[in-house]
A and B are shown apart, each in its own frame.
Chain A
Amino acid sequence: DTGVSQNPRHKITKRGQNVTFRCDPISEHNRLYWYRQTLGQGPEFLTYFQNEAQLEKSRLLSDRFSAERPKGSFSTLEIQRTEQGDSAMYLCASSPGQARGWAEAFFGQGTRLTVV
């Protein structure tokens, strides 16, 4: 399967614990995005990378959230000291990053986080 891969698919954690999610984009896609989706809402932008550079972060991304893409390939999203409000589906997407953004994003299956 050459699509966007996310692991784990599901994560249940206790409040206060740290969690880390991984995203493997489509090979050679240089843009990588993280979104969060809650029930009844569309995907909300969190952050995106162009290669290894994190170019934009949403104000939704509090200090407890950090994302990395160390070699411009896979990315990780870490949430520290999880809160119940962090429960959501975390989506990763990638795009080829053509000039002027003329490309669609390809989404992974998501990681569903439940904080108990």
Chain B
Amino acid sequence: AQSVSQHNHHVILSEAASLELGCNYSYGGTVNLFWYVQYPGQHLQLLLKYFSGDPLVKGIKGFEAEFIKSKFSFNLRKPSVQWSDTAEYFCAVSLTSGTYKYIFGTGTRLKVLA
């Protein structure tokens, strides 16, 4: 069965620190990849997505992610975090054939200290 792994469950950073959140998926076929963010008390929102083409994708609020097919990874990065980035981050995968469901990782809770 397809699955998504997020290795960091809780991350605490100071403002201006760099961020990298790991995401690995298990599926041998072609996938679409997403990072969602959930701010406290709010609904899941899309940060960025990868469908095809340039494996380095840029999203909102200065976030970017790199798809490395050989490693089945889609890590999220931000060079300098802000207090307002405190949130929970979810990596998700959808398949390009057979089923159109989205499979989510368990999430990473990020806390940024002012």
Contacts and interface: CB of A to CB of B under 8 A. Distances in A.
Interface of A: 3-4, 31, 33, 35, 40-45, 48, 50, 55-56, 91, 93, 95, 97, 100-102, 104-110
Interface of B: 4, 6, 9, 32, 34, 36, 42-46, 49, 51, 90, 92, 94-97, 99-107
A95 B35 CA distance: 16
A43 B96 CA distance: 20
Contacts of A95: 100
Contacts of A110: 43
Contacts of B96: 100-102
A107 B100 contact: no
B40 to A, nearest CB: 13
Contacts of B107: 40-42
